[in-house]
Amino acid sequence: MKVLITGDHAGMTIRNEVIKLLDELNIEYEDAGCSCEHSVDYPDYALPAAEQVASGEFDRGIFICGTGIGMSISANKVRGIRCALVSDVYSAELTRRHNDSNVLALGERVIGPGLAREIARTWLETEFDGGRHADRIEKVTAYETHQSKQEAGEL
């Protein structure tokens, strides 16, 4: 598994904790987050990172900002991204098992470093159940495809 981790200025502490976890789990990753303390715009990090995940360059992404909301909204604008904003371990497990999420959004101002590690570990180690859940994912993908064709004037 290859993971892209990114974040804005408000997610640096949690991002560093998740990077330590990725190192401990021997998971290949790239850090595309900001390395500054001044305010930056989350879409500038979330959108290019989501495109890299959607293209298949990375298997999954972990996106972190103050609340996780901005990263999640931005990432989900990219076709093929299923980003879940998670603040508990149970949701981290189910978003992988049932929704095959490929991006995890975390909020540093919402959860602490210890919980962030637990959420990320659970999300990274949980597999997609498939079955009836795959049928549901296919419906979302079909909708995205239809919308893209409609916007391109192909329909």
Could you say which of 1.10.10.60, 3.40.1400.10, 3.20.20.10, 3.20.20.80 is the CATH number of the domain covering 2-129?
3.40.1400.10
**Is 65 annotated as catalytic?**
yes
9, 34, 65, 83: the catalytic one is: 65
Q: How do the domains of the chain map onto residue ranges? A: 2-129
Output the CA angle 71-72-75, nearest 5 degrees.
80
Long-range contacts of 37-46 (CB under 8 A, 24+ apart): 37/9, 37/12, 38/9, 39/9, 40/8, 40/9, 41/8, 42/8, 42/70, 42/71, 42/74, 43/70, 43/74, 45/6, 45/7, 45/8, 45/71, 46/6, 46/70, 46/71, 46/74, 46/75
Residues 74-132: tens digit of each pLDDT: 999 999 999 999 999 999 999 999 999 999 999 999 999 999 999 999 999 999 999 99
Each residue of 133-143: b (16+ CB within 10 Å) or e? eeeebeeeeee
pTM, two decimal places: 0.94
**Is 98 annotated as catalytic?**
yes
34, 98, 133, 146: the catalytic one is: 98
Pairing state between β 2-7 and 60-65 = parallel
Residues 41-76: tens digit of each pLDDT: 999 999 999 999 999 999 999 999 999 999 999 999
